[in-house]
Amino acid sequence: GESVGLHLPTLSVQEGDNSIINCAYSNSASDYFIWYKQESGKGPQFIIDIRSNMDKRQGQRVTVLLNKTVKHLSLQIAATQPGDSAVYFCAENIGDYKLSFGAGTTVTVRA
């Protein structure tokens, strides 16, 4: 069964606002997490990753937060743009080089 899941299947955001996408995971032994972005008609693309020995990691306009106590992962997108409209997946490493994915959150940016 799924060990990774997203709290909300859809998120509508006003252009320029910040977005927060949440993800819960159930495998406390997972030590590596990734956020992927999938635009329509394309395969998932890597956004940012984080290892379990970190609580926070920042990229360009994106920040990933990891709370191991409650097994929660979030992706924050600053100043959301139309090009950020996509499906976002969190994934966790569950051993043997395999990644387990959540169901995804569809982000729609309103102009």
Partner 1 sequence: DVKVTQSSRYLVKRTGEKVFLECVQDMDHENMFWYRQDPGLGLRLIYFSYDVKMKEKGDIPEGYSVSREKKERFSLILESASTNQTSMYLCASSRPGGDTEAFFGQGTRLTVV
Q: Which residues bind to partner 1, rule: CB under 8 A?
A: 2, 4, 9, 31-32, 34, 36, 41-46, 49, 51, 89, 91, 93, 95-104
For residue 4, the cross-strand partners are 25
DSSP state of 100: E
Q: Least CB distance from residue 3 to partner 1, whole Å?
A: 10
Rounded to 5 degrees, what are φ and ψ at 48?
Answer: -160, 150
Which C-beta is closer to partner 1: that of 85 or that of 100?
A: 100
Which C-beta is closer to partner 1: that of 54 or that of 79?
A: 54
Residues 102, 17: Cα–Cα separation, whole Å: 24
